[in-house]
Homo-oligomer: A and B are copies of this chain.
Amino acid sequence: MASFDINNVRTRIDPARGLEPSPRLVPHCGEISCADCPVRSHAVCGGLELDVVHELAAILTFKEYGEGDPVFDEGEGADHYYVVTSGTVRLYKLMPDGRRQIIGFLYPGDVLGLHDDHMYSYSADALGETCLCRFPAGRLVALMRRFPGLEHRMLEATSHELVEAQANMLLLGRKTAMERVTSFLSRLADQAEARGEPPENLLLPMSRADIGDYLGLTTETVSRALSRLKAKGAIDLENKHVRLRDREVIRDMTGDS
């Protein structure tokens, strides 16, 4: 027995310990081992010694999520860390009256579950079919103690998130609606480029309402901004497909220079 399934939770056993992957493949996650994990190169686990990777593999479990499935809720005890292996995760905070602020969208290789004071500071759910690998917090912390390189990678990941959050504070506090939308498109293009995809042709995995809640705007305002960009000939737009006709023109509209 190399893996088993309980409640949609798939436990991975370290192949290095003489166990082999299950022959049954998971629909979209794939029955990947850390050794050939597609996201390892740019994830927290990337660039680590093999013995650390093996120890990580020993404590992780895979889990699949469908559209809108919750991963965890703000305020819950933070008992797990997660790494996205496929799909997209939406992080958000809710106000008692229902107003929502989306904190970020996570893509394969990103970590979630970073917290302070043993409580999740935001809620997380899946945007479409998504697969996460999950680490019990206590055991991961123990591993960080034994392997300082792992803690170093966590610090790097956290610092990176912090820098992004600060950039979003500027966006939310000081940019106009059009600047926010073009900043958003520009960043999506950069991310696509970093993944080796064509940066001009974007497929938005999230709704207009999600974009609005991320940019501090309403759906209508997002829609209007996109329509104006289309009318100006800056983008082609058909529903979730956006094509940046000139990335420089978009960049010049972000307010960032």
Contacts and interface: CB of A to CB of B under 8 A. Distances in A.
Interface of A: 93, 95-97, 99-101, 103, 114-117, 121-122, 144-145, 148, 151-152, 154-156, 158-163, 165-170, 172-175, 213, 215-216, 255-257
B172 A96 contact: no
Contacts of A159: 114-116, 158
B169 A158 contact: no
Contacts of A168: 169
Q: Which 5 A-B pairs have the closest CB atoms?
A: A173-B216, A172-B172, A165-B165, A148-B148, A101-B170
Contact of A103 (B145, B158, B166, B216): B166
B165 A162 contact: yes
B173 A162 contact: no
B170 A95 contact: yes
Contacts of A255: 95-97, 99
A216 B167 contact: no
A101 B175 CA distance: 10
A117 B167 CA distance: 14
A174 B95 contact: yes
A33 to B, nearest CB: 28
A163 B215 contact: no
Contact of A169 (B95, B97, B156, B165): B165
A89 to B, nearest CB: 15
Nearest to A173: B216
Contacts of A161: 162
A101 B158 CA distance: 21
A148 B142 CA distance: 12
16 contacts: A93-B166, A93-B170, A96-B255, A99-B174, A99-B255, A103-B169, A117-B163, A122-B166, A144-B152, A145-B148, A148-B151, A151-B152, A151-B155, A155-B158, A165-B169, A173-B213
A132 B96 CA distance: 40
A189 B69 CA distance: 38
A169 B174 CA distance: 12
A187 to B, nearest CB: 15
A116 to B, nearest CB: 4
